[in-house]
Amino acid sequence: MSVREKLIITVSIVWISTGLIGCQPEPPADARSAPKDDAVTIMSFNVENLFDNNDDPIKIDNTFLALDDKQSDQHKTECGEIPVDRWRDQCLYWDWNDEIIDKKLRVIAAAILQVDDGRGPDIIALQEVENIAILERLRKDYLGVASYRPAILIEGHDARGIDVAFLSRLPLADQAQLHPFPKEGLDEKRYGDTRGILEATFLLPDGSLLTGFSVHFPAPFHPTEMRVTAYEQLNELKSRLPADQAVFAAGDFNTTSREDGEKNMLQRFARPLWTVVHDVGCVDCRGTQYYARDDSWSYLDMILWSPAKKSGEKATWSIRAGSFAIANGSPDQITADGGPARFEMPGGAGTSDHWPVVFTLELK
């Protein structure tokens, strides 16, 4: 019996013993989209406010409702309390109707499917997803050709309701976990603007394990110390894993080029333990997010990689040379000035204010 067969049996036992057998990921429906035996492609994508238009009473999602559902005095009063003019106008006047949601899902799907000749990446770490329902709609109705298994999303405590998630063709090897952002020392307002780290372990084609962390660190307007805490939490989670297990972390790290230059963030908290994948090389890459106020580019979106360390052996899965890229080949992703095209209302032009990043692991 091969290692892969033994591991599949072990995973099945875990699902049965934990009552998760009914939640087993669906097998790929299209053989053309099945994972390859010797390569796995991984993407990180902040999809910028992927919301449905159902009012969630415990989340601040007032902006993302159809205009017809924004006419109550209560809604107008709540929006009127928003101190920022632009955000207040969005809450009052954006018409987040079914047609707009369809357009948002289509452009997100187009950005994903530009990878790997229309197959899409094997694993996607996503950020700014409201809930499992809207992600499942994206998977089933717009990414059917990619044959992704059921989405992985665990609701967190972000006040707006945005969560981190995974889509994958590779099966889960264990139940996913969400690790909340450390609350100690934070007031409720700052804590409400944080996301946890989503941990999921996948079964690679050769039978070995790959643990992924989908992250969305505190925004740049929060103190640097909050992002330091997030890096430290990520590194502590990594330290719990066996040394002979491959690991990646992907997402929106919210570390601007200015902050990295002033605080040496990546050199202190990433490079000692990880390979920063865009360090390996990317042709004509400036970053994934543009700040017009500073006229600066930043790699807010990154993928970190740590190969399995096996005593006396070389790593079996490693970064394919030249595979790192910024996936911005869809016309809806680029502004006239050459930057990321955020999804603009009222017409729904653009895709996201972040460009996705992607790279490929290959089996040596």
Would the pLDDT of 283 be above 80? no
pLDDT tens figures, 222-269: 999 999 999 999 999 999 999 999 999 999 999 999 999 999 999 999
Say if 58 falls within a structural domain.
Answer: no
CA distances from 338 to 43, 44, 80, 360 (A): 21, 20, 35, 26
* pLDDT exceeds cutoff 90 at 19: no
Instruction: Assess whether pLDDT exceeds 90 at residue 34.
Output: no
334 within a domain of the structure (yes/no): yes
Exposure string over 320-341, b if 16+ CB within 10 A, otherwise e = beebbbbbbebebbbeeeebbb
Residue 84 is assigned to a structural domain of this protein: no
Residue 18 included in any domain: no
Q: How far apart are CA 84 and CA 65, in angstroms?
A: 19
Q: Which residues contact residue 149 at a Cβ distance below 8 angstroms, ignoring those fewer than 6 apart?
A: 25, 26, 27, 28, 167, 168, 169, 170, 171, 172
Could you give the angle at the alpha carbon of 43 between the alpha carbons of 38 and 46, nearest 5°? 170
What is the count of structural domains for the chain? 1
Q: What is residue 5's predicted lDDT score, i.e. its pLDDT?
A: 40
Angle, helices 73-80/85-93, rounded to nearest 10 degrees: 170
Residue 240, domain CATH? 3.60.10.10
C-alpha closest to that of 333 among 344, 323, 345: 344
The answer to the question of residue 71 being in a domain is no
pLDDT, position 11: 37
* Cα 340 from Cα 272, distance rounded (Å): 30
pLDDT of residue 138 exceeding 90: yes
pLDDT of 314: 67
Please give the average per-residue pLDDT across 203-209, as a whole number. Answer: 95
pLDDT for position 4: 39
313 domain residue, yes or no: yes
133 falls within a domain: yes
> Which tens digit of pLDDT belongs to each residue from 42-58?
999 999 999 999 999 99
In a domain, 90, yes or no: no
Q: Which residue has the higher pLDDT, 61 or 35?
A: 61
* pLDDT given at position 27: 54
Q: What pTM does this model have?
A: 0.91
Q: How confident is the model at residue 14 (pLDDT cuts 50, 70, 90)?
A: very low
Q: Which domain holds residue 238?
A: 3-13+31-53+97-363
